[in-house]
Chains A and B, each alone.
Chain A
Amino acid sequence: MKGVSCLFQEPEVTSDFKNCENKNETGAESPFEHKVTLEFAVEGKNFRAAGEASSRLKHTLQHIGFPAPLVRRVAVAAYEAEMNIIIHANRGTLKAEITPKTVTIWAEDEGPGIPDIELAMQEGYSTAPDYIREMGFGAGMGLPNIKKCSDILEIETVIGAGTRLKMVIFNKTGPEREK
């Protein structure tokens, strides 16, 4: 997607990310070696189903045996991103790629785009209408919450076309199957 893009990245985390590209280097046997990918369609304004995609992603991670703090970070980031699509866009998708060391989430939508990313990243800034606020959202905490939960956050947006978020969350401890 062309257009405005923005990258939020912690430098020390980047090197971790590079290391985990060579995840089989040690040859150590891991209980969970394969990649798991999930994809959900998200329909704009469908508040009845809002949260179901994130809930299923959360349960997949729990089932694999990821530690609770990682599951929580992924679930919150995915849920805020899913709500953003439902509140602001016409339609979109939530995709996740799960490996033993990282969970990557992409939230892509066909929607209005974000005119000012810097402003949207500020806590308390929101363009959501009143009926969204009455639902308990639209307080301008969505993107800041996503950033807080993610180790890497990339935002690409095109006004009048849509927005793509990439969220990367590292698993610092590895899966615990027996849990």
Chain B
Amino acid sequence: MTLAEVKALLSAEVICGKDKLNLPIKSVCAGDLLSDLLAFSHNKTLLLTGLNNAQVIRTAEIIDLAAIIFVRGKRPHSDMVELAEEKGIPLLVTRLPLYESCGILYCAGLREEKPHKGF
């Protein structure tokens, strides 16, 4: 599935990274705890989050996440968008809540990441 297909499924709006909509999305993670993402997520995973601050972008850059979708219509601030553009991370916003967003992507065949087997 591409990021464009994810965008369509969640009726999401692209805030930045329009040129990266053909990015393949193979796994998804969801949550608001950045240390958990740092510990357990994989490279090139899509993140769904309700957390709306610059550390989300920083964390995504450190662990090479594919893209970030903010749920429940939370729009990133301009300094976050600037940072994401600089780091080349696409940002999207969906009006759907986290649980529903996850459910839609799961039903469409996207699965969670496989458990991390350590470093």
Task: Give the Cβ gap from B74 to chain A, nearest Cβ, in Å.
Answer: 13
Q: Mark A37-77, 1 if CB is under 8 A from B, else 0.
A: 00000000001101100110010000000001100110110
- Report if A141 contacts B (CB, 8 A): yes
Q: Which of B97-119 contact A (CB under 8 A)?
A: 118-119
**Chain B residue at minimum C-beta to C-beta distance from A62:** B64
Q: Is the CB of A55 within 8 A of B62?
A: yes
- Report if A80 contacts B (CB, 8 A): yes
- Report if B53 contacts A (CB, 8 A): yes
- Report if B1 contacts A (CB, 8 A): no
* Chain A residues within an 8 Å CB radius of B63: 72, 75-76
Q: How many residues of A contact B (CB 8 A)?
A: 25
Docked CA distance A142–B34 (Å): 10
Docked CA distance A117–B62 (Å): 26
Q: How many residues of B contact A (CB 8 A)?
A: 23
- Report if B35 contacts A (CB, 8 A): yes
Task: Give the Cβ gap from B77 to chain A, nearest Cβ, in Å.
Answer: 12
* Chain A residues within an 8 Å CB radius of B34: 135-137
Q: Is the CB of B39 within 8 A of A145?
A: yes
- Report if B38 contacts A (CB, 8 A): yes
Q: Is the CB of A137 within 8 A of B55?
A: yes
Task: Give the Cβ gap from B89 to chain A, nearest Cβ, in Å.
Answer: 12
Docked CA distance A69–B116 (Å): 12
Docked CA distance A79–B119 (Å): 16
Docked CA distance A68–B119 (Å): 10
* Chain A residues within an 8 Å CB radius of B95: none
Task: Give the Cβ gap from B100 to chain A, nearest Cβ, in Å.
Answer: 21
* Chain B residues within an 8 Å CB radius of A50: 54-55, 58
Q: Which of A122-148 contact B (CB under 8 A)?
A: 135-137, 139, 141-142, 144-145, 148
A-B residue pairs in contact (CB < 8 Å), sample of 24: A48-B79, A50-B58, A51-B59, A51-B62, A54-B62, A55-B87, A58-B62, A69-B119, A73-B119, A79-B38, A135-B51, A135-B53, A136-B32, A136-B33, A136-B34, A136-B51, A136-B53, A137-B34, A137-B55, A141-B35, A141-B36, A141-B38, A141-B39, A149-B119
Q: What 10 pairs across the A-B complex have the smallest Cβ distances?
A: A141-B35, A51-B58, A136-B34, A73-B119, A79-B62, A75-B62, A136-B51, A145-B39, A76-B38, A139-B35
- Interface residues, chain B, with chain A CB atoms under 8 Å away: 32-36, 38-39, 43, 51, 53-56, 58-59, 61-64, 79, 87, 118-119
